[in-house]
Structure 1
Amino acid sequence: MIDPPSGVPLWGASLIGWLLVPAIIGGVAGHVIATRIQSVKQLSTSGLFRKRKLGDRLRPPSRIAYLGDYFNKTPEAHALVDNFVRRAHRNHWLLAQDHWEVLVRDTMCTTEYAELGRAECLRQAQDLTSIHVRTAATAGQCVVCAARQI
């Protein structure tokens, strides 16, 4: 059993400790949250809801690239497909293509791509996704598989 503090100064120190520690922790947490909220990129609504040109509206959206098309492009693209399909997905092309599309879609839904046109958004998202996938695929892992616990 813990002995209670004897004397007024010890009671005062104990009371200050119980009040001060939660206040410091709350202040740090509040500062971190406020900093995070301020660092979020603000998008102007005029840029998000601008009217597209007639050509942009009539042109159908591009498709997410088929992984098989990367196979014969460059040695880097060939290595990406080889690692992503053969190592990370054990040569299961349909599963690898599905996970590729999930990753590209999730990349396209970030605020960095909100002001781009459809074709440019897709191109940049596929480029960035191929960079992110390369490291995990080289180790024989897939981010989507890990998230879905496949």
Structure 2
Amino acid sequence: MSLAVVRSLGAPRQLQTPQEFEDFEQEIVDQYLLACLGAGVEDTTLNSDCSVVFEFIRFLGRPVWAAGPEDAKATHAEILAQLTRIGELLGQIRDLQAEWTEDAIQRISTENSTLKQWVRQLTADNRTLDERLKAARSNLRFQDRRVADLEAQIAGT
């Protein structure tokens, strides 16, 4: 029979690795949940409390036993801000969904088709006008040369 080393309950626990910190943190949460179960707290309340505790731990970013009241207030403020933003976004989604009735979708689709046809017609008209402009410029250059030739003939006589 051999003797095993047992840690004294009075001696502080020395945590060395990140895994030991995580395990100890999980142990604290587990003990909290067991105490709640022993006190007769309902499962739904425990599930809600557990999710809040884990969210708090994620927000905290350091060991949970190092948390203070100011951390809880900051977490609460952040969660309220996020819930407010989520509510605003859900309201915007609801408003957008409410605006799109079947008639509105049909009307917008028809207007979109009409606008596409109009764009095609304007593009064709623009192309035609561009060709006419090029032709007019070419004619102007020809006329400029012709005028220059005539001026040269007049000046030469």
On whether the aligned pair clears a TM of 0.5, the verdict is no
- TM-score normalised by structure 1 residue count: 0.29
Q: Which has a greater percent of helix? A: 2
Larger RCO (alpha carbons 8 Å, 6+ apart)? 1
Question: Structure 2 length normalisation: TM-score?
Answer: 0.28
Kindly name which structure, 1 or 2, has the bigger radius of gyration based on alpha carbons: 2
